[in-house]
Amino acid sequence: MIAGSDILQSAWRNPRGRTGALILLIVVVAAILGPSLLPDPLAQPDVLGASRPPGLGHPFGTDQLSRDVLARVVTGARISLSVALLAVALSVTLGAIIGLVSGYWGGIVDAALMRMVDGALAIPRLFILLLVLAVWERVPVLALIVLIGATGWFATSRLVRGEVLRIREEGFVRAAEALGARRRRIIFRHLLPNALGPLLVAATLGVGDVILLEAGLSFLGLGIQPPTPSWGGMILDSREVMISAPWAGIFPGVAIVITVLSANLFGDALRDAVDPRSA
């Protein structure tokens, strides 16, 4: 078994993993501190200042409503990251619980759960969300987080189930069972800690996926609702001014690429640490 801190240390020693972690840290700090240092992302100072190219005063330019693009990108980071972290926390928890139950209890519970997961995996996540969100008039952010989290655990539960099935046959679990350890003790002391590595990897890679997913939903008008700035929503707004003010759409996209890429670089380094064969 590899402990969580060992995995993190090993990922940190990987140059690309470290680059990813550092960039992600910068994005997080910017998201926390940025909004208080920058102009109000909702303020529309004047019509004459609309669609200004990047320059002094507005490093990323202004959009068609004269709002500061940098301030909106940074506030968007706060929103995108919070949605992603909360949704991933929910989906990983659900995936872990269902995977543990399915793998440990087995039998009909396992069969029923896994058939359901098969069915759910047949519908791409985007379509599941479209179906629910399309009839919803205005989606509250909390509902969006819950929905994205509730549609992200299918693959994780399979992963955890596989780990549980593998570990359950190991000598130390058999020994614990023979010694009369209770189910709860076996699950929390033996099974869960051993499945933690793959879960950590799934969570980190899940952050990147959810950022892309939320941006996509917002681009379709179903995610974060205006005027709250979100990266996908900003790209949607920029569609009509792409020719006259391309910066309004380019910068939020670059922010997505940088954030998702660094999360995935770190996730890959974690994966290599958990499963050295994949390196």
Partner 1 sequence: MRSWLLRRSIQAVITLAIALLLIFVLMRAAPGDPLSRLSAGRPISPREIELLRARYGLDQPLGHQLLAFTTGLLHGDLGISIEQGRPVTTLLAERLPATLLLGGSVLLLNFTFGLWLGVRQAASHGGREDRWLTTLSLTGYAMPSFWLGLVLAWLVGVEWRLLPAAGMRDPLMDADAGLVARAGDLLRHLVLPVVTLSVVSIAATMRYQRSAMLEVLRLPYIVTARAKGLSVSEVTWRHAWRNALFPVITLFGLWLPILVTGSVFVEAVFAWPGLGSLAAGAVSTRDYPLLMGASLLVATLVVLGGLLTDVAYAMLDPRVRFG
Judged by the rule CB under 8 A, the positions of this chain that interact with partner 1 are: 16, 115-116, 118-128, 130-137, 208, 212, 215-216, 219-222, 232, 235, 238-239, 242-243, 246, 249-250, 252-253, 256-261, 264-265, 268, 278
Using only C-alpha atoms, what is the Rg of the chain? Answer: 22
Nearer to partner 1, 97 or 261 (CB): 261
Taking the complex as a whole, the smallest distance from the CB of residue 211 to partner 1 amounts, in Å, to 9
> Closest approach of Cβ 202 to partner 1, in Å?
16
User: Nearest distance from residue 138's CB to partner 1, in Å?
Assistant: 9
Provide CB contacts within 8 A for 105, sequence distance 6+: none
Instruction: Name the residue among 228, 259, 244, 279 with its Cα closest to residue 20.
Output: 259
> Cis omega (within 30 of 0) on the bond before 227?
yes
User: How many C-beta atoms lie closer than 10 Å to residue 8's C-beta?
Assistant: 17
Pick between residue 192 and residue 263 the one whose CB is nearest to partner 1. Answer: 263
Q: How far apart are CA 243 and CA 277, in angstroms?
A: 48
- Residue nearer to partner 1 on the CB measure, 148 or 192: 148
Q: With respect to partner 1, which residue has the nearer C-beta, 87 or 173? A: 87
Nearest approach, Cβ of 203 to partner 1 (angstroms)? 17
Q: Which is nearer to partner 1, 200 or 265 (CB)?
A: 265
Task: Tell me the CB-side half-sphere exposure of residue 67, using CA atoms within 13 A.
Answer: 19
Residue 70 or residue 235: which is nearer to partner 1 going by CB? 235
- Cα–Cα distances (Å) from 249 to 59, 85, 87, in that order, read 14, 24, 25
Bridge partners (DSSP) of residue 62 are 68
Asked whether 267 and 208 are in contact (CB, 8 A), the reply is yes
Q: How far is the CB of 130 from partner 1 (least distance, A)?
A: 5
What distance in Å separates the CA atoms of residue 234 and residue 229, rounded to the nearest whole number?
7
Q: In whole angstroms, how close is the CB of 236 to partner 1 at the nearest point?
A: 8
